[in-house]
Structure 1
Amino acid sequence: MIDDEILNKYLEAGKIAKECREFAAGKVKAGAKILDVVVESEQKILSMGAGIAFPLNISLNEAAAHDTASPGDERVFKAGDVVKVDLGVHIDGYIADTAVTVDLGKNDLLVEASKAALHAAIDMVRPGVRTGQIGAAVQAEIESRGYRPVANLTGHGLGQYLLHGIPTIPNVGMQGGTELEEGMVFAIEPFASTGSGIVSDASRTEIYSQISSRQIRLPSARKLMKIVAERNSLPFSRHWYYEEKSDLAIAQLVKQNILRGYPVLHDVPGSLVSQAEHTMIVTDDGCIVTTV
């Protein structure tokens, strides 16, 4: 069970996340700079009194997740782009994670596939249901529209300063899985693809998080870690702390297994991926969706 104080923090995070998601999605237009959308949207989260749980993900076309603006990013949205806008908000570490797809082309059915899969999944959430059953519902909605669910991306449990916990919510059917219990908090995020339905790491990495603590020799790396440690292991963006030696510092910290990178995840070139995501809390007879 979740006590009232923590519940209120989850609900407040969800309310802010919804507003900021809609704000960010409204900024996605052909010709707009990705960097501008990221900076303005992240600033809005902070201006509303919340923390940024992870950098605003702006992932285009075959990219499904983990892309964001790089330092000095000159990329702009183009007509025809399928844009995933994925953001996280926290209040004292209690997280709301939500995403929407903005279609700058003619891909209504693809966008509908992930959205319908999310709604079908939410309708199933209640104590006693197993995550494999939810995955089957997601898969059925996406495949019924002629697309592939992304099999190696999942929804995930949420906790205080914890982005990827139990349960894992698959996007394909499977036997068994975790049995849902009252008080569980998690995000469900179906991805529908015109490609293979399997994502892999791209060469581009813009997002990192701290995974350990140990002695650091490089002065620029020590300086960076003093700031990063305040994130309580939540991910950060390379562009947030960018200066002359920051890339060298990050490379050294990754080599020492102090930081881990989150490469952009993409399906095959030329494919398109849509995403929809909400955060929810399991109740005795269903769930509260915090990000609607």
Structure 2
Amino acid sequence: MGAKAPTDDANMLSVKGSGKVNGSAGANRTTNDDAAELSGEESDDDAEKHVTQPPATAGEGGAMKKKNKRKKLKKKRKAPTVQTEPPSVLISQLFPNNNYPKGEEVEYRNENGYRTTDEEKRHLDNINSDFLSDYRQAAETHRQVRQWAQKNIKPGQTLTEIANGIEDSVRRLVGHDGLSEGDSILSGMGFPTGLNLDEIAAHYSPNAGNKTVLQQNNVMKVDIGVHVNGRIVDSAFTMSFDPMYDNLLAAVKDATNTGVREAGIDVRLGELGGLIQEAMESYECEINGTTYPIKPIRNLAGHNILPYSIHGTKSVPAIETDDTTKMEEGDVFAIETFGSTGKGWVYDQGEISHYAMRRDAPKVDLRLSSAKSLLNTIKKNFGTIPFCRRYLDRLGQEKYLLGVWYARS
């Protein structure tokens, strides 16, 4: 989920794309044109037949009929070893003993190579096993849901249908449906699923009643967040059903991969932005006979991630800047790139769909009872994890819009 960078004047865009790896509450970021970014079955066998002979009784023909009783013994259901479609098997069942996939490990570059042989550093890495286990579980959940979504999202589906399918899958895989008080804080969605069409760059999720249908000519940025014990994995991809936009999608993918490859301890964020920019601007895209250079969006950026907080204090720009802030040991970053064939700038517009409680919000005495009740619900069920109106609907909240407006004002 992209972070908004400091801006001056807002300019308009034509077409934009997004791509991010492991990457605020507020209005969706828009442009004024187009935008890019077994279970096993039970098997019952017959058990041995047990023949019983009741005691004989006096009377004519005093013989008793023997009754054969057939008793079935159920076999214990085996734990599933493969994922279903749609995803429904707990990740913890597929990977017992918290032995989750490690993913791709990249060696430190250049002068930082000594860190791989530093005994103390290796020891510090090893003792933080819960940190890595939570992140790997969240990442594997994200990977399986993401692959299912990429295969099954098709034109003709509503945005609400797509969002619910993704979010329900995430909740099933982490084993927390989020319906009981505090369950969503344990594990679940890291933020509302972003489904950003065309000129909408980021931060839009369908609210209740949304009937928008995905069309063949749409470019959609799908932004999914998964958290386990507050460790948030933030990753997005762009979908297009028209090959005309292939280069736009390739540009943001290359830029994102460049950012991931060049990231590391002691890397300066401003210099990293320059490498991302260079990769992005090496592409162009022909749309309806006109060739456009692809530019990074200057006021959308990647960011570091803190426990239970999707946006930390560091920003990863998509352009070269004079920011000398360094990546440090223990940092977790979302490398996000957004590409545009326009001017490379977004502005806030449209209905709000993402909300989050700020850690540093000043204490305010809410006079409206509905606002107090709503704030209490948010604290108990989401904490500082971002949420949307559909999540309040799932919890049975009603007539909360005034409370939302009052609480955020």
TM-score when normalising by structure 2: 0.60
Q: Is the 8 A contact 1:148 1:197 kept in 2?
A: yes
Superposed CA deviations along residues 192-224 of structure 1, whole A, max 9, x for unmatched, are: 011221110012211111123533332322232
Corresponding residue number in structure 2 for 1:36: 161
Deviation at 1:244, TM superposition (A): 4.5
Q: How does 1:79-94 map to 2 (within 5 A)?
A: 79-94=216-231
Superposed CA deviations along residues 14-41 of structure 1, whole A, max 9, x for unmatched, are: 1111222223333421110100111111
Q: Is the 8 A contact 1:12 1:91 kept in 2?
A: yes
Report percent identity of matched pairs.
Answer: 31
Q: How does 1:154-193 map to 2 (within 5 A)?
A: 154-193=301-340
Corresponding residue number in structure 2 for 1:136: 274
Q: What's the secondary structure of 2:265's corresponding residue?
A: coil
Unaligned runs of 5+ in 1: 256-292
Amino acid across the alignment from 2:364: R
Q: Does 1:121 align with 2:255?
A: no
Corresponding residue number in structure 2 for 1:253: 407
Superposed CA deviations along residues 133-163 of structure 1, whole A, max 9, x for unmatched, are: 2111111111111201011011111111111
Superposed CA deviations along residues 155-178 of structure 1, whole A, max 9, x for unmatched, are: 111111111114311000112432
Corresponding residue number in structure 1 for 2:150: 25
- CA distance in 1 between counterparts of 2:203 and 2:138 reads 21
Deviation at 1:98, TM superposition (A): 0.4
- CA distance in 1 between counterparts of 2:199 and 2:324 reads 28
- CA distance in 1 between counterparts of 2:163 and 2:206 reads 7
Between 95-104 and 206-215, report the one with greater CA deviation.
206-215
- CA distance in 2 between counterparts of 1:224 and 1:20 reads 30
Q: Does 1:151 align with 2:294?
A: no
- CA distance in 2 between counterparts of 1:8 and 1:125 reads 22
Work out which of the residue numbers 185, 200, 218 in structure 2 matches 1:63: 200
Superposed CA deviations along residues 236-274 of structure 1, whole A, max 9, x for unmatched, are: 11122245521111111112xxxxxxxxxxxxxxxxxxx
Q: What's the secondary structure of 2:319's corresponding residue?
A: coil
- CA distance in 2 between counterparts of 1:32 and 1:6 reads 37
- CA distance in 2 between counterparts of 1:53 and 1:22 reads 18
Q: 1:144 to 1:6 in 2, by over 3 A?
A: same
Corresponding residue number in structure 2 for 1:241: 392
Q: Does 1:105 align with 2:259?
A: no
- CA distance in 1 between counterparts of 2:332 and 2:300 reads 18
- CA distance in 1 between counterparts of 2:165 and 2:373 reads 26
- CA distance in 1 between counterparts of 2:372 and 2:164 reads 26
Between 146-155 and 207-216, report the one with greater CA deviation.
207-216
Q: What's the secondary structure of 1:154's corresponding residue?
A: strand
Q: What's the secondary structure of 1:162's corresponding residue?
A: coil
Corresponding residue number in structure 2 for 1:221: 371
- CA distance in 1 between counterparts of 2:377 and 2:153 reads 30
- CA distance in 1 between counterparts of 2:367 and 2:171 reads 33
- CA distance in 2 between counterparts of 1:175 and 1:225 reads 40
Q: 1:23 to 1:223 in 2, by over 3 A?
A: farther
Structure with bigger strand share is 1
Deviation at 1:81, TM superposition (A): 0.7
Corresponding residue number in structure 1 for 2:136: 11
Q: What's the secondary structure of 1:215's corresponding residue?
A: coil
Rg larger for: 2
Deviation at 1:183, TM superposition (A): 2.2
- CA distance in 1 between counterparts of 2:340 and 2:355 reads 26
- CA distance in 1 between counterparts of 2:234 and 2:320 reads 23
Between 149-158 and 128-137, report the one with greater CA deviation.
128-137
- CA distance in 1 between counterparts of 2:190 and 2:387 reads 9
Deviation at 1:180, TM superposition (A): 1.8
Corresponding residue number in structure 1 for 2:211: 74
Q: What's the secondary structure of 2:330's corresponding residue?
A: coil
Amino acid across the alignment from 1:65: A
Superposed CA deviations along residues 81-117 of structure 1, whole A, max 9, x for unmatched, are: 1100001111110110000001122300000010000
Unaligned runs of 5+ in 2: 1-123, 175-186, 284-292
Between 76-85 and 235-244, report the one with greater CA deviation.
235-244
- CA distance in 2 between counterparts of 1:244 and 1:121 reads 43
Q: What's the secondary structure of 2:192's corresponding residue?
A: strand
Corresponding residue number in structure 1 for 2:96: none
Q: What's the secondary structure of 2:196's corresponding residue?
A: strand
Superposed CA deviations along residues 22-66 of structure 1, whole A, max 9, x for unmatched, are: 233334211101001111111111111141110000001111101
Q: How does 1:257-268 map to 2 (within 5 A)?
A: none
